[in-house]
């Protein structure tokens, strides 16, 4: 009887250990696999030409990724610029001003927003944001736009990253001990002053973590951007011009990938670059965060 249990445990333990090991190794396998598949094009073209080249014409053998890198940055920055103030203000409201009941009620809509698939956001963007930019917003600024532009992608992305930023910010602000709030208020501070000087200070590492998570998400988003950004491989000169991001590039050209030489390698190189950027950003933000955590004491 004991032997059976022991054998069962030994087998199960080995399986678990193997799976755990696999999960640790998966990241490296991904990095390696994508690098390996990018090699063909890396052999032929120097990395500077690829990263900084501005011409994208695969049928002519031109693979300049620069417009896509810049495009992705543009779109990410616009979305963060929109999301950060809105989310910060909203989180402060939910955490410090709204009652517990309102907070509970808002959890469901936020979860729902978080779970909506990217394509659904894309549909909404196509039906609502693109026409609005074309007919109202661009003319307001004296510009002409087809509506498929940086701003459209930025707006849609901003809404996509609302939930993650708000969720983390509200949670972190909730961890600030009640007594510190009381101490500040007892000294005669208004609630807003307490928020400004005490709560935000204490919750800052968490809030920044939320922003970085949102930024990271916006950077890698594919479908919604693909549907509203215009996908023209040129560096946009204004927010009203079309843009082509790295993720959109990879997703959009699956069909032609195998028919043009080096195209598949180029696209997998794009994936590799995307992976590296996200990883590096992840690591840097962790380091940054622990630095802040130590200084806020």
Partner 1 sequence: MDFRKIEENFFKVLMIFSTLIIFASLFWILIIVAIKGIPAMNLAMITQAPKGGFYLGKEGGILNAIIGSLLVASGSTVLALILSLPIVLYINVYLTKKSRLAMFTRFSLDVLWGIPSIVYGAFGFSIMLFFGLRASLLGGIITVALLIIPIMSRAMDEVMQMVPIELISASYSLGANRLETALKVVARQALPGVLTAVLIAFGRGIGDAASVIFTAGYTDSVSFSLFRPVATLPLAIFYQLGTPFPEVQARAHASSLILTIIIMLISIASRYLTKKFKSFVVK
Partner 2 sequence: MGFKSHIQVRNLNVYYGKNHVLKNITVDIPDKKITVIIGPSGCGKTTLLKSFNRLIDLVDGVNATGEILVDGVNILDPKTEVVDVRKKMGLLSQKPYPLPMSIYDNIAYGPRIHGMRNKKDLDKIVEHYLREASLWEEVKERLNEPASGLSVGQQQRLCLARGLAVEPEIILGDEPTSALDPASSQRIEQKFLELKNRYTIVVVTHILRQAKRLADYILFLYMGELIEHGPAQEIFENPNQELTREYIRGIIS
What span, in angstroms and rounded, lies between the C-alpha atoms of 111 and 123? 19
Cβ neighbour number for residue 71 with a 10 Å cutoff: 30
Q: Is 131 in the site for partner 1 (CB under 8 A)?
A: no
Least distance (Å) from partner 1 to the CB of residue 39? 12
Q: Is 99 in the site for partner 1 (CB under 8 A)?
A: no
Least distance (Å) from partner 2 to the CB of residue 186? 4
Among partner 1, partner 2, none, what binds residue 127 when CB lies within 5 to 8 Å by partner kind?
A: partner 1
Question: How would you classify the pairing of strands 56-57 and 62-63?
Answer: antiparallel
Q: How far is CA 48 from CA 45, 68, 258, 264, 272, in A?
A: 8, 14, 24, 19, 15
Nearer to partner 1 by Cβ, of 67 and 247: the residue is 247
2-44 and 263-295 helices, crossing angle to 10° = 120
Mind spelling out the 3-state secondary structure of 200-232? HHHHHHHHHHHHHHHHHHHHHCCHHHHHHCECC
Phi, psi of 63 (to 5 degrees): -130, 75
What span, in angstroms and rounded, lies between the C-alpha atoms of 259 and 69? 24
List of residues contacting partner 2 (CB under 8 A)? 99-100, 177-190, 193, 197-198, 201-202, 296-297
Nearer to partner 2 by Cβ, of 79 and 95: the residue is 95
* Residue from 3, 23, 187, 294 in contact with partner 1 (CB under 8 A): 23
Q: Is 135 in the site for partner 1 (CB under 8 A)?
A: no
Among partner 1, partner 2, none, what binds residue 87 when CB lies within 5 to 8 Å by partner kind?
A: partner 1
Nearer to partner 2 by Cβ, of 115 and 177: the residue is 177
What span, in angstroms and rounded, lies between the C-alpha atoms of 11 and 136? 66
Least distance (Å) from partner 1 to the CB of residue 35? 10
Closest CA to 40 of 19, 63, 57: 63
Task: With contacts defined by CB under 8 A, name the span among 51-59, 144-152, 220-228, 235-243 that binds partner 1.
Answer: 220-228
- Residues 44-73 touching partner 1, rule: CB under 8 A, are none
Give strand pairing partners of 230. Answer: 243
Tokens 């955490």 sit on residue: 95
Among partner 2, partner 1, none, what binds residue 296 when CB lies within 5 to 8 Å by partner kind?
A: partner 2
Task: With contacts defined by CB under 8 A, name the span among 52-60, 135-143, 233-241, 266-274 that binds partner 1.
Answer: 266-274
Nearer to partner 1 by Cβ, of 141 and 192: the residue is 192
């Amino acid at each position: 009887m004991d032997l059976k249990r022991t054998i069962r445990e030994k087998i199960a333990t080995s399986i678990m250990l193997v799976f755990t090991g696999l999960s640790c190794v998966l990241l490296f396998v991904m990095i390696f696999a994508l690098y390996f598949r990018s090699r063909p094009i890396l052999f032929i073209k120097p990395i500077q030409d690829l990263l900084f080249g501005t011409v994208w014409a695969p049928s002519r053998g031109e693979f300049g990724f620069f417009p896509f890198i810049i495009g992705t940055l543009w779109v990410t920055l616009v979305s963060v610029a929109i999301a950060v103030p809105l989310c910060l203000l909203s989180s402060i409201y939910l955490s410090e001003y709204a009652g517990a009941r309102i907070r509970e009620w808002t959890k469901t809509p936020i979860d729902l927003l978080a779970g909506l698939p990217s394509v659904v956001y894309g549909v909404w963007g196509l039906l609502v944001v693109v026409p609005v930019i074309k007919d109202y917003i661009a003319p307001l600024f004296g510009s002409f736009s087809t509506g498929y532009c940086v701003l459209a992608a930025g707006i849609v992305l901003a809404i996509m990253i609302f939930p993650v930023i708000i969720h983390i910010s509200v949670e972190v602000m909730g961890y600030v001990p009640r007594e510190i709030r009381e101490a500040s208020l007892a000294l005669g501070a208004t609630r807003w002053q307490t928020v400004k000087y005490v709560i935000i200070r204490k919750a800052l590492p968490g809030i920044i973590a939320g922003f970085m998570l949102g930024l990271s998400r916006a950077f890698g988003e594919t479908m919604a951007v693909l549907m509203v950004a215009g996908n023209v491989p040129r560096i946009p000169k204004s927010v009203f011009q079309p843009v082509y991001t790295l993720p959109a590039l990879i997703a959009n050209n699956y069909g032609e990938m195998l028919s043009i030489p080096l195209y598949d390698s180029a696209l997998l190189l794009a994936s590799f670059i995307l992976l590296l950027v996200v990883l590096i950003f992840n690591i840097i933000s962790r380091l940054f965060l622990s630095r802040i955590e130590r200084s806020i004491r």
